[in-house]
Amino acid sequence: MKYISLLIALLFTFTSFSQVKRSEIPDSLRKGIIVDEFIYENAPFPQCHASTIEETPKGLVTAWFGGTREGNNDVNIYVSRFIDNKWTIPSIAAEGIIDSTTRYACYNPVLYQVPGGELILFYKIGPKVIDWTGWLVRSYDNGATWSKPERLPDGILGPIKNKPMLIGKTLVCPTSTERNGWKVHFEYTNDNGRTWEKGPDLNDANPISGIQPSILRHDRKTLQALCRSTNGTINETWSKDNGKTWSNLSQTTIPNPNSGIDAITLKDGRHVLVYNHVKPRKNEEDGWSDRSPLNVSISNDGIHWTPLLVLENEPKGEFSYPTVMQSSDGNIHVTYTWKRKRVKHVVIKLT
């Protein structure tokens, strides 16, 4: 694999990476994709977003939010399971019902398989993002059925978009808030979401912003978290004590068009990043730009990244909010929003 990565690095700079057209993507930037499919073809909702994927003892499970449009009070959390080599029809796992008279939209599910235990689905409910609250449901049958909703304590949101990391007995949850600017912090639970502790904000949102962190593992004590920002770059924070404390948020050189990302550390120690390699438009407020192409890069150190794959690159298309995981067979699974209409699933086999 090292010689393939080196060849790709020589042939494609980050600049050329973001400019290839979908119909002109070189085979070298599609190599290793063994599955490219939609989770569903038809659904009882017109829009979807913010997918998540996890492996259970009985196979893969995906979730996302779907409804009329993001923020509408008919937006629920839907799930699908991979059974007998196909995805099941989407079904509702959680709704935004607060009480008999109040119902809000659901947002940003995050699946987490407790080792030897239940499957947890974290999600948010609220009339808008700045007012959302954290919730979870549990499944004891690998995503087939779900428990009654549990509201997280006031001020606790749980993992905001990307997966938590279990360190010892502590589940370290990457999270963020948006009420007074975009700020990153971490939350901690030692009992799978029943009791919580909250860490401090790692930035003041002016000028450095960040939301939706993804955690990478470097060595037995060193962690890195990469996140979306309004600065036109992916921003980062580092921990030297297994996530107990973190550095102030700072900018990297990786572009970010104010769009969600995800990153994981592979079993062999390398890191994979899925993101839109797009620079912000000039004079665009908050760093906004297109959410195409959707790219995959790989790194040995979390600092220097080599282009690996282009998943989508249709002009003006939206291919966003990826989530990435490595399954027990070593394959890499990516799900993402496809034009807000469907959830796409791609499987990558590194050689």
Strand partners, 262: 274
Omega cis (within 30) before 207: yes
CB atoms within 10 A of CB 283: 5
Distance of CA 11 to CAs 4, 87, 270, Å?
11, 37, 20
Of residues 122, 106, 207, 204, the one with CA closest to residue 157 = 122
Strand partners, 64: 78
Please give the backbone phi and psi of residue 15, each rounded to the nearest 5 degrees, phi first.
-65, -50
Q: Do residues 76 and 43 make contact, with C-beta atoms less than 8 angstroms apart? A: no
37-151: CATH, from 2.115.10.20, 3.20.190.10, 3.40.50.720, 1.10.760.10: 2.115.10.20
Which pLDDT value is given to residue 24? 67
For the residues of 224-241, what is the DSSP string, one character each? EEEEE-SSSEEEEEEESS
Q: Give dist(CA 279, CA 71) in Å, integer.
A: 27
201: Cβ–Cβ under 8 A, 6 or more apart, which residues? 177, 183, 184, 185
Which pLDDT value is given to residue 10? 35
Q: Report residues of the chain scoring pLDDT below 50.
A: 1-20, 22
- Domain definitions of the chain by residue range: 37-151
Q: Give dist(CA 93, CA 21) in Å, integer.
A: 37
Of residues 168, 223, 162, 157, the one with CA closest to residue 193 = 157
Q: Give dist(CA 55, CA 218) in Å, integer.
A: 23
CB atoms within 10 A of CB 141: 11
Of residues 159, 155, 138, 160, the one with CA closest to residue 147 = 138
Q: pTM of this prediction? A: 0.93
Helix (H) or strand (E) segment spanning residue 337: strand 332-338
Omega cis (within 30) before 280: no
Amino acid found at 6? L
The pair of three-digit structure tokens given for residue 5, joined into one six-digit string: 């990565």
> What is the side-by-side order of every strand in the sheet holding 133-139?
105-113, 119-126, 133-139, 150-151
270: Cβ–Cβ under 8 A, 6 or more apart, which residues? 298, 299, 300
Which pLDDT value is given to residue 19? 44
Amino acid found at 209? S
What's the residue count for the chain?
A: 351
